[in-house]
Structure 1
Amino acid sequence: MMLLAGRRCYNVLNPLHSMIYFAPEAQAEFTALGLSRGAMSYFAGRAAAMGRIGPGAVVGTFYNYSPELVARHLPALWEIAAPEAVLAARLRAVAAAQQRTLGAELLASAELAEAAELALRAAGACTAPGRPLYAAHADQPVPEEPGAALWWAATLLREHRGDGHLAALLDAELDGLEALISHTATGKGFLPEAARATRGWSEQEWAAGEERLRGRGLLDAAGELTEAGEQLRQQIEDRTDRLAAAPYRALGEAGVARLTELAGKLTAASVANGAFPGGVFAAGVGRAKAKD
């Protein structure tokens, strides 16, 4: 039961972090540093906590991006904007985006402060070994403002779960593209066109990935998951839940339920105020941006 409760909590909390990837405020901050819109800004914002890393580390920790796309921007982007400048810009963007999507009243509310405290307590139970992206972000100072602190805690919980998810994908013998295709086929994440475009894969590479999955009996001729494919994706999610369970166990049943309730209200307000664009996610999908 706690594994399922932890997943539910993550699903409503994660959008409070992942809105930053779609926020015009973030694009404004990053372009002001000289970074280009889109992939360069995304790589900079998410990778800056790891310092002046090269393309190999990003391919390894982000997993489902085309190595060619990554190499196009790294390490060159650090000559434009230092990691420290990117991290500061990202926090400014968070504050501005939260003002737009949550509003001053919610940001000053006791409920948001309580959600931040619970999320920080959960994040404090995460562990660093084997989780490089989480560990890099955990090394950053905790923001003082409750809204920023909630975003920061949601970031840690996202990257902690994500690092474990990559271990599950490796165990399932899915490479980055195959993981992306099979997750898209579940209908619970990005639309295929958005996934291919944002991750930098060509139509030919995507088609080749589909053929590899068909060869394993995981995808049918129409591009839908077979029964074996559905079972594998479920096994991956179950293993990810187990690897991500520690922070929710530490919070306890009542704490997880309360954080789920609070985060659900905050996410609903954020989505209603335009935190995410249309035409990107599958219809009816909650805004928990997928790692795959």
Structure 2
Amino acid sequence: MTCTARRMHELLEPICLVTFFSEECNEELAALGHRTYWDGYFASRAAPLGRVPAQVVDAAFYNFADGEVARHIPSAWETIPPEASVAARERGSAASLRRILGDGLAGSPGLVRAADLTTQAAANTPTAGRVMFAGMRALPVPSDPVARLWHSATTLREHRADGHIAALVGARIGGAEAHVLSALDMGIHPPESFGRIHHLPKARLAAVMSGLRERGLVDADGHFTDAGRETKHRIETMTDELAAAPYDTLSPAELDELIAALEPITAKVAATGSQ
């Protein structure tokens, strides 16, 4: 099922990314009173966990710089309840999907079936050890098919992310180190220029690169060593393996049906860059 998990990630990820890339979600969160994009991001994504402290959100999200979460949590919830933020995220994400897909795809039987099957896969998967997945599972499932597809795709995305963090922890790769490995895997050099980490203090970045060199994962020029490339491959393989459980709950015929239903939807969303 590893190949299936990878294929499902490819099909569901563009649907999830409208939350972060499209204007509707940002507008809904701003209308609530969130002052910045990142206030809305942290408040709405962490909202399924309830009013937990910054340390808990930082642990669950894993790969943000020290102190970054604390700049937004819990202050983003002081005047805006978590429930309002997560509802705004759902409204905005569903609205962006409807706009991108148009009436034809948004109202198609294929989309309804894709929403039903992804919801089924998420609902029948154990939550043990999956904090963000469990948080999403605790939310009401929308009745509207477009909102339900976004909700179930995002729930499955958090399931995969929980497993990815477990794989990183098992490989002793921290959040900043994970960004370095991802940058190198994408062909970005120097990896310190990657958008997720380039803003970090130079001393912090230097310490991260030094630690990876000491472990033999990057060379003196900041490129992958063979060991580094193998470590990255092992993490991604483990992530796929840990992400397979939801799709094990579907029959082969249901999986084929789901993939066929998602392909035109994802193609349309991906063509816009999830915007």
TM-score tier, shorter chain, comes to: over 0.9
Residues 1:195 and 2:196 aligned together: yes
TM-score, structure 2 as length reference? 0.92
C-alpha displacement of 1:206: 2.5
**TM-aligned CA deviation for residue 208 of structure 1:** 2.1
What residue is the counterpart of 1:107 in the other structure? 106
Distance 1:234 1:275 in 2: 27
Aligned residues: 272
| Aligned position for 2:60 | 61
Measure how far apart 1:218 and its partner are: 0.7
Alignment partner, residue 231 of structure 1: 230
Alignment of 1:221 onto 2:213 = no
CA deviation map 1:93-129 (0-9, x unaligned)? 0222112221222110011111111211211222111
Would the aligned equivalents of 2:218 and 2:225 in 1 still touch at CA under 8 Å? yes
Cα distance in 1 for partners of 2:208, 2:234 equals: 20
- The C-alpha deviation readout for 1:73-94, integer Å capped at 9, x for no partner, is 1111111311011112112102
Determine the C-alpha separation between the residues in 1 that align with 2:254 and 2:158.
Answer: 21
Q: Provide the alpha-carbon RMSD of the alignment.
A: 1.8
Verify the 8 A CA contact 1:55 1:67 in the aligned structure 2.
no
Given that residues 4 and 244 in structure 2 are in contact (C-alpha distance below 8 angstroms), is that contact kept between their aligned partners in structure 1? no
Aligned pairs for 1:1-80 (under 5 A) are 2-80=1-79
Give the aligned partner of residue 184 of structure 1: 183
- Tell which has more relative contact order, 1 or 2 (C-alpha 8 A, sep 6+): 1
Q: SS state of the match for residue 169, structure 2?
A: helix
Q: 2:164 matched to which residue of 1?
A: 165
Displacement of 1:275 in angstroms is 1.7
In 2, distance between residues paired with 1:188 and 1:46?
Answer: 29
Deviation per residue, 1:244-274 (Å, 9 max, x gap): 2111111133322332233232121012234
Q: Tell whether 2:86 aligns with 1:118.
A: no
Q: Residue in 1 aligned with 2:248?
A: 249
Q: Hey, what's the Cα distance between the residues in 1 that align with 2:165 and 2:116?
A: 28
Is this contact kept in 1: 2:125–2:249, CA < 8 A? no
Question: Following superposition, which runs of at least 4 residues in structure 1 exceed 4 angstroms of deviation?
Answer: none
Distance 1:71 1:21, change over 3 A: same
Q: Is the 8 A contact 1:125 1:246 kept in 2?
A: no
Cα deviation, 1:145-198, whole Å, max 9, x if unaligned, reads 111111111111111111111111111001111112112211189x8432226x
- 2-structure distance, mates of 1:34, 1:216: 45
TM-score w.r.t. length of structure 1: 0.87
Change (3 A) 1:228 1:24: same
Does the 8 A contact of 2:49 with 2:135 survive in 1?
A: yes
Aligned equivalents of 1:275 and 1:18: distance in 2?
6
Which digits, 9 at most, give the CA deviation of each residue in 1:12-52, with x for residues without a partner? 11221122011211111111111122221110110011111
Gaps of 5+ in 1: 277-292
Kindly report which structure 2 residues correspond to 1:142-153, keeping only aligned pairs within 5 A, or say none. Answer: 142-153=141-152
Give structure 2 stretches of 5+ with no counterpart.
none
Instruction: Describe the shift of the 1:231–1:193 C-alpha distance in structure 2 as closer, same or farther (beyond 3 A).
Output: closer
Are the counterparts in 2 of residues 6 and 256 from structure 1 also a CA contact under 8 Å? no
